[in-house]
Amino acid sequence: MQTSDARASWESCGLVLSAVVLTFATFATDLLAYPTFSRLLVAVAIWMMALLIARQRRTEHQLRQKAHEARQYLERADVDAEERKRAEEALHRSLKDLEDIKYALDRSTIVATTDRMGTITYANDQFCEISKYSREELIGQNHRIINSGYHPHEFFQNMWRTIASGQKWHAEIRNRAKDGTLYWVDTTIVPFLDEQGRPYQYIAIRHDITERKRVETELREQAALKRLGEMGAVVAHELKNPLAGLRGALEIIGRRMSSDSPERRIIQEMVTRIDSLNQMVHDLLVFARPSLPNIGQVLMSTVVAETTALLASDPAMRDVVVDVSGVDPVVPADAAMMKGVLLNLMINAAQAMGHQGRIALTLSTTNDHCEIRVADHGPGIPEGLRDKIFDPFFTTKHRGTGLGLSVARRTVEMHGGTMRFECPSEGGTVMTVCLPLARQV
Amino acid sequence: MDTAVGAIFSMGENIFAPARVLVVDDEALIRWSLTERLSSVGYDVEEAGDGASALCYFREGAPRVDLVVLDLKLPDADGVDLLKQITRLCPTCRVVLMTAFSTSDTIADARASGAYDVIAKPFNLDKMLQVVECALA
């Protein structure tokens, strides 16, 4: 561009110079009286001037065009810079948004990623918190580490089938934390797909719904209990009346037999069976229609003594000894209900030991609680049954409603207390009832 | 248990007459077993299978009843209502209620209406005898 401009300048200079020389030559020839030659020179000079003007116009036009192009170029450059700036800002905003979303996700939900084989590759703080495993313990592991064994095998088979086909999967899962506590999570697993549409990674987003599940279960149980309670009143009357008649009649018949008559033993056995039946009906009724505790100041030693005496009166418990030790607190409680709770725990303990051995009952207090520990030397509760023992209607016994522990725990909870159990490594089971020393109900 | 014989003479017209007990229940086996057990220690026991029959024992001129063992749920009457009627007709008569199923409210209502005790069914006959003896003592 610069070269052609310079050439154009030199050409213009040459033309101007030639025109000037020709003009002088014209004057000179005119003075020398060569008019024809003079006219020729004038014509040449005019032609050259015209050429010069044309050349000048063309140059001006080219310059205007270049200036226009330059302006356009500069404008375009401005636009490009602005666009780039806008793009950079958008990118920055997107990255910030992404970071914020990740932060919000990490703060509010349980997030984990796995590779296509299901090995955990990322676990956020929430996951560590709920599972009680450290990040190091989780990464490199399979999700089986938190499997509670609650869901059937087909449940997870279906999950894998769905996500391996590139589909999103959603369900509510009960998991087990490192310390054995169970928690529920609402889970969505989304596969990340490669160019061929095959999953190369999965992201699991979970929400803790343990509390919601607890409330749902409670509501379901309440509805079931209401129905059971309504039915119970009718069933109880219809069952207990004939049972009372049968029991009374058998008692009378038994009295008429001589004490060494073998039939008298049979009659006694029949009365025992009727009492068991009655107890089952009673348990069902108490479970279905719990009454509120009638709280008084209860000396625990009295409750314990009355309960152990009751246990001792049962011929089946003649080889069971209860060792009572510890302090003797006064607890705000319903004495009759507490007797029921302790009797239940002691009968369970005796049954666990095959009705033979020693039960250790220890009373202790903390600042605000009284603890009653009932320990047996039985085989302990099998690991697979530990999360079921407080479930209503769950029983390992040949006979029984499976309501005893469930009712006992609810009774303790109605007193503002808690009931828990431990299975020490050396064997046996320790049931602990914890009651507040100040009235809470 | 048969030592209770000495404690069963009521303070009626004839102080040497045995106390008169009325057993009211629609379940025949309960009536029979109670009658047998109470008679065995010397009580004079009558039976009624429903509320209407029970009230017949409190008509004018009928021999005095000292104690009623009454079922809380009868086919023709509510036990607590019957209890109120009996205590109105015979204020000195003691009433022991039997119940196969009742709420704490019903039991409180029965006690407030004058029931001496409320016994849950099924019961041990000796336990019932003890309550009857205490009520008549």
* Of B44, B37, B58, nearest in space to B8 by CA: B44
Which ipTM value was assigned to this complex?
0.85
Subunit contact A248:B30, Cβ cutoff 8 A: yes
* DSSP assignments along A53-90, one per residue: HHHHHHHHHHHHHHHHHHHHHHHHHHHHHHHHHHHHHH
**Nearest neighbour of A237 by CB, restricted to B34, B37, B73:** B73
Q: How far is CA A97 from the centre of its chain?
A: 24
Subunit contact B27:A242, Cβ cutoff 8 A: yes
Under 8 Å between Cβ of A298 and A329: no
* Interface membership of A245 toward B (CB under 8 Å): yes
Subunit contact B122:A291, Cβ cutoff 8 A: no
**Nearest neighbour of B37 by CB, restricted to A233, A244, A252:** A252
Subunit contact A274:B122, Cβ cutoff 8 A: yes
Q: Which helix (H) or strand (E) holds A280?
A: helix A262-288
CA distance A431 to A415: 17
Under 8 Å between Cβ of A380 and A396: no
User: Choosing among B2, B23, B29, B38, which should be mutated to test the A contact, i.e. which has the most A CBs within 10 A?
Assistant: B29
Among chain B residues, CA nearest to A254: B33
| Total Cβ atoms within 10 A of residue B27 | 21
State the pairing for strand pair B20-24/B67-71.
Answer: parallel
**Nearest neighbour of A248 by CB, restricted to B26, B103, B125:** B125
**Nearest neighbour of B30 by CB, restricted to A232, A236, A245:** A245
pLDDT in tens, chain A (441 residues): 455 556 666 666 676 677 677 667 666 666 666 667 777 877 887 887 788 888 888 888 999 999 999 898 888 888 888 888 999 999 999 899 988 888 888 888 899 999 999 999 999 999 999 999 999 999 999 999 999 888 888 999 999 999 999 999 999 999 999 998 999 999 999 999 999 889 999 999 999 999 999 999 888 877 877 777 777 777 877 889 999 999 999 999 999 998 888 899 899 889 988 988 888 888 777 777 777 888 899 999 999 999 999 888 888 888 999 999 998 889 999 998 999 999 999 999 998 898 899 999 999 998 889 999 999 998 888 877 777 777 776 776 666 667 788 888 889 998 999 999 988 888 899 999 999 987 654
* Of A37, A71, A172, A106, nearest in space to A79 by CA: A71
Q: What is the pLDDT of residue A17?
A: 74
- Give pTM, 2 decimals: 0.53
- In angstroms, the separation between the Cα of residue B64 and the nearest Cα of chain A is 26
Under 8 Å between Cβ of A168 and A188: yes
Among chain A residues, CA nearest to B101: A237
* DSSP assignments along A206-248, one per residue: EEE-HHHHHHHHHHHHHHHHHHHHHHHHHHHHHHHHHHHHHHH
B6 has pLDDT over 60: no
Put the strands of the sheet holding A430-436 in their side by side order: A320-326, A357-365, A369-375, A430-436, A418-422
* Of B87, B28, B29, B32, nearest in space to B55 by CA: B87
Cα atoms in the 13 Å half-sphere on the side-chain side of A217: 9
List the alpha helices (DSSP H) in B1-137.
28-40, 51-56, 79-89, 104-112, 125-136
What are the chain B neighbours of A230 within 8 Å (beta carbons)?
Answer: none
State the pairing for strand pair A182-193/B44-48.
Answer: unpaired
Tokens of A329: 């607190």
Query: Cβ neighbours of residue A123 under 8 Å, at least 6 residues apart?
Result: A111, A112, A135, A138, A139
User: Choosing among A238, A252, A283, which should be mutated to test the B contact, i.e. which has the most B CBs within 10 A?
Assistant: A252
CA distances for A259 relative to A229, A266, B40, angstroms:
42, 12, 18
* DSSP assignments along A4-28, one per residue: HHHHHHHHHHHHHHHHHHHHHHHHH
Tokens of A62: 């080219």
- In angstroms, the separation between the Cα of residue B25 and the nearest Cα of chain A is 10
- In angstroms, the separation between the Cα of residue A396 and the nearest Cα of chain B is 27
CA distance A408 to A430: 15
